[in-house]
Structure 1
Amino acid sequence: MMFFPKMTKSQRIGLLFVVLILFIDMLLYSLLIPIVPYFTETLKPSSTMMGILFSSYAVAMLIATPFFGPISDRIGRRIMLLIGLVGLAISTILFAVSDSLALLITARFVQGLAAAATWPTALALLADLFPPKMRGAIMGIALTAISTGTLLGAPIGGWLFEMSGHRTPFLAAAAFTLINIILVYAFLREETTRSESEKLQVGGFLRHPQVAFIAGIVLLAEISLCLLEPTLPVFMTDKLSITPAAIGLLFAVMTLAYGLIAPVAGALSSRFNPFTLMFVGILSLAVFMPFLVWAGTLWQAALAMALVGASVGFTLSPTLATLGEIIDRGGSGAYGTAYSLFNMFHGVGMVAGPLAGGILTDVLPVSSAIIAVAASIFSFGILLYVMLRAKQSSPSASTHKEMKM
């Protein structure tokens, strides 16, 4: 990409650390997945307790995100990133020594707290370092780091588990995180000076029509993506008679497509209307979701998964740079607060998606439930876009005052 030669040394270092931090965060998130059968066999938890284990991450992230983002606007990105990385190291060590379900849930909760510190701060650091014209593609690279960590976490965890037991994946991740802490402490420097002016009136920011549109789009995309995780594997197994390994490969295809399209969509958002791109992405997601249940072969299912993953990546990538531009127009550098709100929308989707999937599949067949969700996404996507256009064309659409710092 043409913008790489134009990056300064501080921009290159900042981007490198953000990629590493987001990668390790999501690697740790998915590292637990292949080790779950071991804990299920040894600890004998109920289905409810396993649900609590997995949801504790999102709950912790939702609780802590509103505090950590604004704090990073005041004390600086480097300090908050170090705090988050220390939290990640503690959580992985807790996973390694866990011999009870309570300790596992505690470790997952601490992991969610750490993510609440690292995610919005890392994205805010990119907004600090890069001008608006470069931000779209750069934020897409950040999303690719997230998807790559998600993609590799489970296979790496499974491989290390088979080699040396259930503690090894977590101890290796803790060592990697500690190295990351040392590197960030030694080499990451901030050029932006913090000031008291970098405060955001969150209520006014959320009432901004463009922010409200982004919030709705993120929620629709995240709920759809997280809804598929608990419902689709059983459906695909029953319909196509495929193995768990094949199910894993299907989700890997979806994650890979997400990661590949995110930088492209981010780059396009600096050249075209980003809200139109988000709208096209969410409608594409609604159109392609039914193909998941219509697929009759493994190859058709893989293509459908790729189209869904690419649609989600195309939808979400422009949201990050656009939030930064809205903050720029408000005359502040309170990116930490803005991206903490993005993290909250993401967290709500992580909680609501599996819940919605469970409720719908209790009353409908999985195929009907997914088609109903696709129809809902299509309808709500159009509604959000129509409302945005209506508010932007109204005389009161000058909303800078709503974002006063």
Structure 2
Amino acid sequence: MHKKQLPLLFAIMFFIMLGFGIIIPVMPFFAEKLGANSFQLALLFSIYNIMQFLFAPIWGRLSDRIGRKPLILFGLLGFAITFVLFGLSASYTELLIYRLLGGIVSAAAIPTVSAIVADLFPPEERAKGMGVIGAGVGLSFVFGPVIGGVLSKWSFSYPFYVSAAFSLLTLLFVIFALPESLPREKRSNPAHEPKSSRFHFLTAVTGPLALLYNLVFIVSFAFSGLETTFGYYILDLFGMDSKDLGYMFLVMGIIAAVIQGGMIGPMVKRWGEAKVLSLGLLLYTIGFVLILFAQGFWSLALFLSLFGAGQGMIRATSNAMLTQRTTVGQGVTAGTISSMDTLGRILGPLVAGGLYGWHYASPYILGAVLVGMLLLLFQLRYRSLPEPTGRTK
């Protein structure tokens, strides 16, 4: 049954994230049109990530109690409403309020899809399932910005309305096609849970699975720093523009989608999650180093593609290893993974932006050092991780 659900989960994640991809090229221009300066634009992005960081574990815990499907439906309806309101905004204050609300509701739907994969797939096949939905995310960010760029020629509001339409179509798709993956007998009951079993953020960063949770954070921190500064890097050193950047990220996104969608399963079956994850970290480290030696468009595109390959390996396998070993509900686990990833996306751009102003190479040197040390630490300590529990609740 889980194999039959996989194309459905891929489609749901693709259409959820397509709405986000559509607004990427439009957001700065729309905010600028309403008088936002660079700091206010950064705040629009930051407030969204902060709300995701805060609310993802809360929604995840709720999905363990009432089921996955209600949370996805709530998130999709919230997407649609906030996208429409954002497109109708007439002031920066309205943009900020609706962006804040969008961050809250998005934290309900996106991690819950990962929790469904953990519900449906046995531990030995979970990396494959995580890889396929990761491919849906990757492809949405390949096609979404293209759609958004075309729509923005008519109006900056149109991409937000189309994103809302995709959310509503996906909502109908979920209502009629997606079965509930967490039966009532497997749902958590807070009244019957001992306090010792309850999960908090500090448990993630200091507990038995801290190595994996912190890995998610550091990889997100390093890569978001690259995303933030790479446009400046290719402009300052090579005189390239946003079109060149778009083509490079297009190549990277396609490679990530291909690896996550078709190669993760066979690779994990042959080598195991730990070796595939280590290979992904190695590709990240090499990518950060080689970018500093690039000579032009094709070498930059080639080196950036290493991140696409590494990203596919790291995300699918780290998520699978965490869901295999968790002792709490899969909703809480998926929400905490999302929070760690979001925390990296909050702090990474701030640090990388400051470092780039000091020296253009410093964000990439820091990325290479952090991920390289993480690879070494993972090699030394992954064997001491708890054994897989096979928990599916």
**TM-score, normalisation: structure 1:** 0.87
Residue 349 (1) aligns with residue 344 (2): yes
Instruction: Note if contact 1:282-1:377 (Cα within 8 Å) is conserved in structure 2.
Output: yes
Query: In 2, Cα distance between the equivalents of 1:62 and 1:41?
Result: 26
Q: Alpha-carbon deviations, 1:25-46, whole Å to 9, x = none?
A: 3222232232235324422212
**Matches of 1:281 and 1:147 in 2, distance apart?**
16
Match of 1:134 among 96, 103, 125: 125
What are the equivalent positions in structure 2 for 1:49-68 lying under 5 Å apart? 49-68=40-59
Between the aligned partners of 2:204 and 2:76, the Cα distance in structure 1 is 29
Q: Distance in 1 between matches of 2:28 and 2:182?
A: 46
Corresponding residue of 2:369: 375
The CA deviation string for residues 157-205 of structure 1, in whole angstroms up to 9 with x for no partner, is 111121x312222212212211211221123222532345576532566
Q: How many Å separate the matches in 2 of 1:39 and 1:95?
A: 10
Residue 220 of structure 1: CA displacement? 2.1
**8 A Cα contact 1:78 1:190, kept in partner:** yes
Q: Are residues 266 and 112 of structure 1, via their aligned partners in 2, closer, same or farther at CA, if it must alter by over 3 Å?
A: farther
Residue 294 of structure 1 is matched in structure 2 by: 293
Retained in 2: the 8 A contact 1:81–1:118?
yes
**2:38 equivalent to 1:43:** no
Question: What's the offset of the Cα at 1:107?
Answer: 2.4
Aligned-partner Cα distance in 2 for 1:70–1:220: 24
Q: Distance in 2 between matches of 1:88 and 1:41?
A: 22
Unpaired runs of 5+ residues, structure 1, are 1-7
Does the 8 Å CA contact 2:112/2:331 hold for their aligned counterparts? yes
Q: Which residue of 1 aligns with 2:312?
A: 313
2:160 to 170, 177, 180: 170
Residue of structure 2 in register with 1:3 after alignment: none
Partner of 1:338: 333
Q: Pick closer, same or farther for the CA change 1:353–1:25 going to 2, 3 Å.
A: farther
* Structure 1 CA distance for aligned equivalents of residues 234 and 218 of structure 2: 23
Counterpart in the other structure of 2:198: 201
Question: What residue identity is the alignment partner of 2:91?
Answer: S
Deviations 1:245-274 (A, max 9, x none): 111111222222222222323442344331
1:25 and 1:350, CA in 2 relative to 1: closer, same or farther beyond 3 A? farther
Q: Any gaps of 5 or more consecutive residues in structure 2?
A: none
Q: Secondary structure of the residue that 1:294 maps to in structure 2?
A: coil
Residue 234 of structure 1: CA displacement?
1.1
Partner of 1:304: 303
Give distance in 2, aligned partners of 1:55 and 1:267.
37
1:5 is aligned to: none
1:256 aligns to what? 254
TM-score computed with the length of structure 2 as normaliser = 0.89
1:95 Cα offset (Å): 1.8
| Shift, 1:20, TM fit | 3.0
Structure-2 residue corresponding to 1:268: 267
The answer as to whether partners of 2:19 and 2:144 remain within 8 angstroms in 1 is yes
